[in-house]
């Protein structure tokens, strides 16, 4: 695979409504933070969800995993990094959520998306060329 930097980062601070009564971010809201980072990363390549759909492909998430290392807290400044690590047969993105002040890793995660032809609803076993073009990578 290429040595191209396929990563991006967002910063956020958990809102009160994302937290449980102990002011810890509810575990399901981590996926919202991953989605925000993923969309920001894909926008960087002009291939966010509207562009995906316009290109004739749907990209459902088929696998998502989170390793909760330390809790995210109400008002805590966070950095959410997303990096595309696979793009040949599927789109795999790794994530790291870090404390913005200490850079300590609080959460590790990844998502896997596959291309589905929007017209036929058929799964694509090789990512379509539009993804490769947008990422600026060459086929193997």
Buried-state track 33-64, b at ≥16 Cβ within 10 A, e below 16: bbbebbeebbeebebeeeebeebebebeeeeb
Q: 25 in a domain, yes or no?
A: yes
Model-wide pTM > 0.75: yes
The CATH number covering residue 96 comes to 3.10.129.10
Structure tokens at 131: 């993804």
Condensed to tens digits (0 to 9), the pLDDT of residues 10-24 reads: 999 999 999 999 999
Q: 75 in a domain, yes or no?
A: yes
Give me the domain span that covers residue 103: 7-135
Q: Is 65 exposed, middle or buried (0-12, 13-18, 19+ CB in 10 A)?
A: exposed
Q: 67 in a domain, yes or no?
A: yes
Please give the tally of structural domains in the chain. 1
Number of C-beta neighbours around residue 91 at 10 A: 24
User: Is the distance from CB of 33 to CB of 78 less than 8 angstroms?
Assistant: yes
Is residue 50 predicted with pLDDT exceeding 50? Answer: yes
Condensed to tens digits (0 to 9), the pLDDT of residues 61-82 reads: 999 999 999 999 999 999 999 9
């Amino acid at each position: 695979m290429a040595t191209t930097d396929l990563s991006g980062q967002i910063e956020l601070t958990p809102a009160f409504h994302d937290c449980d009564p102990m002011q810890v971010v509810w575990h399901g809201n981590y996926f919202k933070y991953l989605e925000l980072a993923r969309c920001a990363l894909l926008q960087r390549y002009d291939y966010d969800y509207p562009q995906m759909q316009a290109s004739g492909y749907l990209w459902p998430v088929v696998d998502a995993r989170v390793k909760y290392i330390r809790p995210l807290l109400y008002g805590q400044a966070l950095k959410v990094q997303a990096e595309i690590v696979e793009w040949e047969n599927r789109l795999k993105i790794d994530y790291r959520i870090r404390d913005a002040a200490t850079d300590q890793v609080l959460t590790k995660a990844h998502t896997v998306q596959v291309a589905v032809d929007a017209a036929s609803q058929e799964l694509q076993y090789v990512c379509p060329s539009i993804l490769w073009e947008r990422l600026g990578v060459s086929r193997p």
